[in-house]
Amino acid sequence: MAQGTLVALDIGTSKVCALIAEFGRDGRLTVIGHGTVPSSGLKKGAVVNIDQTVRSIRDAVERAERLSGWQIAEAFVGVGGAQIESFNSTGQVAVASHTREVARDDIRRAIEQARTVPIPSSREVLHVERRGFIVDGQEGVKDPLGMSALRLEVETHIVTAPATAFQNLMKCVAQAGVKVDEPVVNALASAEAVANDTERELGVAVADLGAGTIDLAMFNEGSPYHTRVVPVGGTNVTNDVAIGMKTSLPVAEELKIQYGTCDLTGLDPEETIAVSVLGEDAGRTVSRLELCQIIESRMRETFELLAGEMRSAGGGMLPAGLILTGGGSQLAGVAELGREVLQMPVRVVSPTGVGGLTDSILTPAYSTAIGLLQWGASFLEEGQPSRFESAPAGGIFGRIRDAIRGLFP
């Protein structure tokens, strides 16, 4: 097993996080440096100001470097944004060998066949994930290498992003002095950190509740079949509180965190809290129940949006339910409200599987960053290099990864 140093760069709407970790021969990840700064220059996961975004990335990187003593040269970079989309595609080829045994080249050709689908030039392919193989009609094959067969079919899950938005993000990372090991969609990175193999096999959805968006990934039989970004997040709740309480956004955020809950049962209607009011020196008192009703209403609507997205994805039942993670999942009562609206098991999960400087980062808010580290570690476990050559326009990233996965099933 290879060992090395891995870097994760999570560039979100509310924060930019850089993590540095050592990957040991025993397969353990140990965090040796982390830097987190407030994000500026992004809206709903997309770059709206390059200079501000570059500055945020540099600040996070410098903090991680100072803490660890390492200099960051490249990183696994999370990709979000409200226009992430996915679809499933199949590819079928005849087994070429005269011995009729499936070879690596047959697997590669099947994957290439699966990705020969019309994709608009305005979209960038980020992932081509293998979901499973069919060997001469036999379904459910995970690794067909060496099997006797006449025909080989592969089902893949393809994730795309808007080309210009993706290129702007990659440009910001490059201008901050960091090369890209591989771009990874946030939803799949978060799932790497919080969903175990059993849950993925049974069928599970993972929703990372961020400030500007919700990154959703749905799995069954061990593989993703639907990846999407829902364009709402914790900022929408804060905005509603600011409007309803007639206060500023920073005060609304503080009220949400300190007094907010999605569970209205047991709240005292007589309980009041002090709130500063825009344009007034004295401020006023408001009912805590009124505050929580605003929060509950917006979060109920959010879960209804998630329910609609999951219904449209199809793909069967989700016996393992919904895993909530991300900073927005730390809102009190969110799992209880999710269970009520979705009528399925819902739980909040923090990332696991890393050691070292983890006291402040083993929380749901860091699931994407830790998942990026684990994504990179999976390549080192397979003996593959952790470094991928970057290129303009970004299209080569996914192709390199697909080629490697095709050669090493």
pLDDT tens per residue across span 111-150: 999 988 888 999 999 999 999 999 988 888 988 998 989 9
Pick the CATH number of 196-348 from 3.30.420.40, 1.20.1090.10, 3.40.50.720, 3.90.1150.10: 3.30.420.40
User: Own/partner pairs for 303-306, CB < 8 Å, 24+ apart?
Assistant: 303/337, 303/338, 303/341, 303/342, 304/341, 305/230, 305/232, 306/207, 306/214, 306/216, 306/230, 306/342
Q: Is the pLDDT of residue 172 over 70?
A: yes
Distance CA 224, CA 218 (A): 6
Q: Is the pLDDT of residue 390 over 50?
A: no
- Is 0.85 topped by the overall pTM? yes
Q: Shortest CA distance to 8 belongs to which of 27, 28, 35? A: 35
Dihedrals φ, ψ of 336, to 5°? -60, -45
Q: Predicted confidence band at 69 (pLDDT cuts at 50, 70, 90)?
A: very high
Q: Predicted confidence band at 279 (pLDDT cuts at 50, 70, 90)?
A: low
- Give pLDDT, residue 396: 36
Distance CA 375, CA 238 (A): 32
* Residue intervals in the chain for CATH 3.30.420.40: 196-348
Task: Kindly report the CATH class assigned to 85-162+399-407.
Answer: alpha beta
> DSSP label at 101?
B
* Residue intervals in the chain for CATH 3.30.1490.110: 85-162+399-407
Mean pLDDT of 325-335: 96
Q: Is the pLDDT of residue 393 over 50?
A: no
Cα torsion for 157, 161, 166, 169, to the nearest 10°? -80
What percentage of the chain has pLDDT greater than the value 70?
90
Q: Is the pLDDT of residue 401 over 70?
A: no
Q: Shortest CA distance to 347 belongs to which of 224, 188, 194, 193? A: 194
